[in-house]
Structure 1
């Protein structure tokens, strides 16, 4: 990155750090943009050069997760069962989102407990589902326009992701997110690996 890009990234990261700490401590609705800017040591005008709203500050926490999941899935061995490939893809984002720090836990609880943020999180997941489905279709030589499997499998994997985050949040960080992910995929693996989208409807008995 150029010097200007690095400077912009530093300011953006500092705004995000300050906002996440303040929002997690005080609550989303109770914090104003002016307060976030003051904590970060910038003007309100500077804040709006980087973010359009408070929601966007938090959503940056999620911004690269979908890209990371798809990249991880694309890098898995071609002969790996879909459930295992998807488990690794989801783990990539579980580690990024659930981490092991108290701040990460506070941010996850903030997102899951704030309707406006949860809505944005679900919007992101819809895009992630499409991206993962496209990657699965390529791995399995399926047509994502006609085969049901890629979208269904991606949706199941992301449901597991959301369930893991919710359980980790509800346990106040006591449960290990990787262990939760492993348990979740142990439940859904038979469905992911038994169907490849190429079978026709069941024959009449």
Structure 2
């Protein structure tokens, strides 16, 4: 069973020099690897069989760990699926922070959202040639409990993007409406693209859909964001 898929979305990766406490780094790396294995096994099963049909016993058997280990990392099956989204918010904020100060808000936000969309769309299970990312997205959007968690996650992303956009533009998010409205528009575009991609059974290109969505929003984003 391939283990590539969820590794690229991990929020933490060690790529620096060995520090003065290597035993801590090793423990962190082991925890991340176990988490990735559990998430990968769960997504393989959930995307194939559906959320309600999969048990935690099946997940731990597929991952080769105990149920006790599962609950050390996740409180529920919902939490496993939310792990699929774990690094997206941080990735969006980091990309927005890295954009040039003089760049138009619509362009900066497009690049920020594109980072998460690309990470999501790149998750393909090469063992059967099918697009597992599409199946997982469909699973999230069509399962009420998972979609509720997805919306909770998006609320955190909106807060992060609001704060970063305000910093990027030199605005006060407590008094200026623009940063939060613009962040909300960007995430609405992201959600709309996922819905459209899922509804088309993957026949539409999500990157092209995102470009079209931001083309619609750009005049309002750039006019309101200009100071």
2:209 to 149, 157, 180: 180
Matches of 2:197 and 2:122 in 1, distance apart?
Answer: 10
- Whether the aligned pair in 2 keeps the contact of 1:22 and 1:31 (CA below 8 Å) is yes
How far off its partner does 1:197 sit? 8.0
Q: Scaled by the length of structure 2, what TM-score is found?
A: 0.84
Matches of 1:8 and 1:135 in 2, distance apart?
Answer: 30
1:195 partner SS: helix
Range with greater deviation from structure 2 (93-102 or 152-161): 93-102
1:91 partner SS: helix
Name the structure 2 match of 1:11: 34
Name the structure 1 match of 2:167: 138
How many residues matched? 198
Higher helix fraction: Structure 1 or Structure 2?
A: 1
How far off its partner does 1:151 sit? 0.4
How far off its partner does 1:38 sit? 1.0
Name the structure 1 match of 2:57: 34
- Whether the aligned pair in 2 keeps the contact of 1:15 and 1:47 (CA below 8 Å) is yes
Name the structure 1 match of 2:158: 129
Name the structure 2 match of 1:119: 148
Aligned ranges for residues 163-178 of structure 1 at < 5 Å?
A: 163-178=192-207
Matched, 1:153 2:176: no
- Whether the aligned pair in 2 keeps the contact of 1:142 and 1:197 (CA below 8 Å) is no
Please identify runs of 4+ aligned residues in structure 1 that moved more than 4 A. Answer: none
Matched, 1:22 2:54: no
Matches of 1:47 and 1:125 in 2, distance apart?
Answer: 25
Q: Scaled by the length of structure 1, what TM-score is found?
A: 0.93
Aligned ranges for residues 65-80 of structure 1 at < 5 Å?
A: 65-80=88-103
Summarize deviations over 1:148-196 as a string: whole Å, max 9, x none.
0000000000000001111111111111111111001000101101102
Matches of 1:128 and 1:7 in 2, distance apart?
Answer: 27
The structure-2 alpha-carbon separation of the partners of 1:161 and 1:95, relative to structure 1 and needing over 3 Å to count, comes to same
How far off its partner does 1:32 sit? 1.0
How far off its partner does 1:100 sit? 5.9
Range with greater deviation from structure 2 (96-105 or 51-60): 96-105
Range with greater deviation from structure 2 (37-46 or 57-66): 37-46
Name the structure 2 match of 1:189: 218
